[in-house]
């Protein structure tokens, strides 16, 4: 029994990490072959760094994912506070469903519908090119918001309602009480929401593809267009770097207090499984 | 006494979701007073306190503070501070910063003054040396003290305490009762104290307000409340009492259980049905033939200081506390002195309380436990 379960574990790890291991290995290959390892070299990394379009795309992606994470964290936290203070149970349920639906929605549907909206409003306003950084930002904030709300809400629920009242009692206005007492309390949830929003933004392809114009290319879109031409190992180098960055982020994230974010993460995992099963079909 | 009124509640009514929680409450609270709201769980004590603190607004009625109406004054503008039921300490701050919170909010910049006043408070609540401790590492009793220090540092006119000792064990509770009482005396701050424990209320308060179901049953000093309860509800809630149906034959003369007793009450009219209260410790056990009433002992429980005896007198079960042993199933006689008899008008609570026929210690212990869990 024990041997079997260990075997199972090994198999899982092989399936999960074999592709990544191969990719990392090949990124250090000195030749262009994907089947033969002819020697260790950083050639493809240099090649990648020489490619100004790739660097531009990386910069764009960082700008986009950081700004969308900041905006959605601020807006999402405020929304969570608002939802938490709702007294009417029915209204609260309704708002929560409205929040959850975009999470369940397949990316392709969200992407197409957002694009339609931007084109529609852009035409209405008589703009020449309506897809830009700003439409991309709006799109990313839209799909990030539910994750932020869902990671902040449990912390608010955990908080004894007498704690902000104690702050009022001691002379704080409601605003000061929020910053001095409530925000520190829900901070772990806010940070989780921010990291989640950042990673979701960073690796999004489908929605970005529909809502970005030609003027603003993200990394995922850039890689996709590179693959369409020819696959060169500098893409593997780039992917390896991104993997390393994500790994680092994950380690940092797991090292800080973890118990608090299990709830929100569980929701994300469940949703990913759901997507996996249903494929791209509409819900 | 020449006391100054500090808070007046005038006809306060409050409902939640269409359910009346406070029904026309009126109450005067004086300077330098230790006043206790006493009543069973769910009777509206916390809601009353929250209205005084500014966390709820009454549906109708006025809250007057120092002569001015403060219905719409937010909590942060009231000279009232609160010790919350579950302490509500700020978990991200240490003991020192929790206590200093009120001073920092008041924008006192002088660190020396802050330090001096925090230390003063720590000394008062016996927590010297705990400055740097994190509040989540403190015991219930210590958290309690931090909550009191935090609430008192801004020198409020009034301190609200919502069942502050509810979570502490018995020994600690007794100590804290004494400390709170002396703290109130020393500071001269008005304490408004909430509890469902009648013993606590009687031993600490200048004034006790007995509440039931959103209404005030009686306001008075502990001795008034104990010796002259207004109705069967109060008599039963405050300590043990035998509440017997009686008829006021004339002034100073009441008939119950077939015997006419001399009493000290008057003014009820002739042949008026009344409730008669006799405290268990005021009943004397005598020989069967010489007693005013006679009955049969049904149970005897040793309580340390005294025996608790249940006696069946003409079908009504009395509770008697006596230091002399009586045997179960024995016939005994009982005598009651005139000043041990308290007469009350009949009320909606008549007949609901004060008969020990269903009495059993186990049952009592059970119901006490569930009450605590609810809270
Ligand atoms: N915010 C609220 N919403 C709805 N009902 C409430 C609220 N606060 C108190 N109640 C109800 O009011 C009644 C009195 O509550 P409370 O004042 O807390 O009683 P106590 O402190 O005497 O136990 C209870 O029945 C309680 O359920
Ligand atoms: Mg209460």
The per-residue pLDDT for range B245-293, each reduced to its tens digit, is: 999 999 999 999 999 999 999 999 999 999 999 999 999 999 999 999 9
Same domain for A31 and A57, yes or no, is no
Q: In what order do the strands lie in the sheet with B60-65?
A: B19-30, B5-16, B60-65, B68-69
CATH number at residue A241: 1.10.3720.10
Residue A282 has pLDDT above 50, yes or no: no
**A56 shares a domain with A87:** yes
- How many angstroms separate the alpha carbon of residue B43 from the centre of ligand 2? 8
Section A256-274 average pLDDT: 46
| Residues A68 and A37 reside in one and the same domain | no
Residue A95 shares a structural domain with residue A206: yes
A167 falls in which pLDDT band (50, 70, 90)? very high
Q: In this structure, are A54 and A31 located in the same domain?
A: no
What integer pLDDT is reported at residue A262 of this predicted model?
44
pLDDT at A279: 38
Shared-domain flag, residues A235 and A129: yes
Strands (E), A51-113: none
ipTM: 0.85
Residues A37 and A154 grouped into a single domain = no
The reply to whether A278 falls in a domain is no
Q: How far apart are CA B14 and CA B34, in angstroms?
A: 25
Residue nearest atom 13 of ligand 1, based on CA coordinates: B42
User: How crowded is residue A169: how many other Cβ atoms within 10 Å of its Cβ?
Assistant: 29
Residues in A touching B88 (Cβ below 8 Å)? 160, 162-163, 165-166
Q: Is the pLDDT of residue A257 over 90?
A: no
Residue from B75, B91, B134, B158 whose CB has the most chain A CBs within 10 Å, to mutate = B75
Does residue A259 belong to any structural domain of this protein?
no
How many angstroms away from the CA of A250 is the closest CA of chain B?
25
Q: Is residue A254 part of a domain?
A: no
pLDDT of residue B360: 54
Q: Which domain holds residue A23?
A: 1-41
Tell me, yes or no, if A278 comes closer than 8 A to chain B by beta carbon.
no
Interface of A with B in 218-257 (CB under 8 A): none
Report the range of poorest mean pLDDT among A246-255, B140-149, B321-330.
A246-255
In chain A, the number of structural domains is 2
**pLDDT tens digits, residue range B156-192?**
999 999 999 987 888 888 989 999 999 999 999 999 9
B231 conformational bin, left if phi > 0, alpha if psi -120 to 50, beta if neither: beta
Residues A90 and A229 in one domain: yes
Q: Is A275 a residue whose pLDDT tops 80?
A: no
Backbone angles phi, psi at B15, to 5 degrees: -125, 150
Percent of chain B residues past pLDDT 70, beyond the cut: 95
Domains of chain B are 5-227 (3.40.50.300), 241-374 (2.40.50.140)
Classify residue A267: in a domain, yes or no.
no
Examine residue A226 and state whether it is found in any structural domain, yes or no.
yes
Looking at the fold, whether A30 and A141 belong to one and the same domain comes out as: no
Same domain, A139 and A198: yes
In a domain, A263, yes or no: no
pLDDT in tens, B39-76: 999 999 999 999 999 999 999 999 999 999 999 999 99
pLDDT digits (tens, 9 = 90+) for B79-97: 999 999 889 999 999 999 9
Q: What b/e string do you get for B85-119 counting C-beta neighbours within 10 Å, with b at 16 or more?
A: bebbbbebbbbbbbbbbbbebeeeeeeeebeebbe
Quote the pLDDT of residue B37: 97
Give domain status of residue A182, yes or no: yes
How far, CA to CA in Å, does A227 sit from each of A42, A223, B33, B369?
Answer: 21, 6, 82, 71
Examine the domain organization and report whether A101 and A8 are in the same domain: no
Let me know: does B349 contact B334? Beta carbons within 8 Å: no
Tell me whether residue A30 is in a domain.
yes
| Residue in B closest to A187 by C-alpha | B92
User: What's residue A225's pLDDT?
Assistant: 86
Q: Tell me, yes or no, whether A25 and A81 share the same domain.
A: no
């Amino acid at each position: 029994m024990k041997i079997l379960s260990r075997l199972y574990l090994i198999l899982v790890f092989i399936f999960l990490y074999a592709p990544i291991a191969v990719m990392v290995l090949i990124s250090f290959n000195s030749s262009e072959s994907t089947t033969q390892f002819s020697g260790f070299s950083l050639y493809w990394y240099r090649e990648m760094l020489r490619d100004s379009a790739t660097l531009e795309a990386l910069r764009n992606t960082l700008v986009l994912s950081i700004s969308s994470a900041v905006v959605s964290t601020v807006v999402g936290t405020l929304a969570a506070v608002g939802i938490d203070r709702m007294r009417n149970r029915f209204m609260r349920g309704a708002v929560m469903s409205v929040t959850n639906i975009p999470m369940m929605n397949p990316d392709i549907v969200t992407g197409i519908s957002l694009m339609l909206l931007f084109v529609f409003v852009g035409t209405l306003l008589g703009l020449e090119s309506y897809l830009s950084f700003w439409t991309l930002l709006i799109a990313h904030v839209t799909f990030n918001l539910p994750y932020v709300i869902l990671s902040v809400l449990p912390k608010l629920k955990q908080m004894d309602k007498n704690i902000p009242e104690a702050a009022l009692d001691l002379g704080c206005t409601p605003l000061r009480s929020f910053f001095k007492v409530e925000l520190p309390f829900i901070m772990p949830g806010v940070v989780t929401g921010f990291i989640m929003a950042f990673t979701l933004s960073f690796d999004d392809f489908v929605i970005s593809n529909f809502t970005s114009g030609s003027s603003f290319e993200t990394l995922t879109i850039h890689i996709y267009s590179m693959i369409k031409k020819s696959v060169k190992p500098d893409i593997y180098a780039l992917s390896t770097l991104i993997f390393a960055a994500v790994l680092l982020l994950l380690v940092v994230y797991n090292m800080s207090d973890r118990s608090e974010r299990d709830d929100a993460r569980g929701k994300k995992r469940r949703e990913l499984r759901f997507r996996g099963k249903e494929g791209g079909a509409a819900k | 006494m020449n006391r100054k009124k500090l808070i007046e509640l005038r006809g306060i009514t409050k409902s939640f979701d269409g359910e009346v929680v406070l029904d026309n409450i009126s109450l005067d609270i004086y300077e330098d007073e230790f006043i206790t709201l006493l009543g069973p769980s769910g009777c509206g004590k916390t809601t009353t306190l929250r209205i005084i603190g500014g966390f709820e607004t009454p549906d109708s009625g006025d809250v007057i503070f120092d002569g001015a109406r403060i219905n719409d004054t937010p909590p942060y503008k009231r000279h009232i501070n609160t010790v919350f039921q579950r302490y509500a300490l700020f978990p991200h701050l240490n003991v020192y910063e929790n206590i200093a919170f009120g001073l920092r909010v008041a924008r006192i910049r002088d660190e020396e003054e802050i330090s001096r006043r925090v230390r003063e408070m720590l000394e008062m609540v016996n927590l010297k040396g705990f400055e740097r401790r994190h509040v989540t590492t403190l015991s219930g009793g210590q958290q309690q003290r931090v909550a009191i220090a935090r609430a008192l540092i801004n020198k409020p006119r009034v301190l609200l305490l919502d069942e502050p000792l509810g979570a502490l064990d018995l020994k600690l509770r007794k100590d804290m009762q004494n400390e709170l009482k002396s703290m109130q005396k020393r500071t001269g701050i008005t304490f408004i104290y909430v509890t469902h424990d009648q013993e606590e209320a009687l031993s600490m308060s200048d004034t006790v307000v007995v509440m039931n179901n959103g209404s005030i049953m009686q306001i008075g000093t502990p001795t008034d409340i104990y010796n002259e309860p207004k109705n069967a509800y109060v008599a039963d809630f405050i300590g043990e009492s035998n509440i017997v149906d009686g008829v006021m034959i004339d002034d100073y003369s009441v008939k119950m259980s077939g015997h006419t007793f001399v009493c000290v009450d008057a003014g009820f009219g002739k042949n008026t049905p009344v409730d008669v209260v006799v405290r268990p410790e005021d009943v004397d056990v005598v020989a069967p033939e010489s007693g005013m009433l006679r009955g049969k002992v049904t149970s005897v429980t040793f309580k340390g200081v005294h025996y608790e005896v249940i006696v069946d007198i003409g079908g009504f079960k009395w509770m008697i506390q006596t230091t002399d042993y009586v045997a179960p199933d024995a016939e005994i006689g009982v005598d009651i002195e005139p000043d041990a008899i308290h007469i009350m008008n009949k009320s909606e609570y008549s007949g609901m309380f004060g008969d020990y026929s269903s009495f059993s210690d186990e049952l009592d212990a059970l119901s006490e436990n569930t009450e605590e869990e609810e809270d």
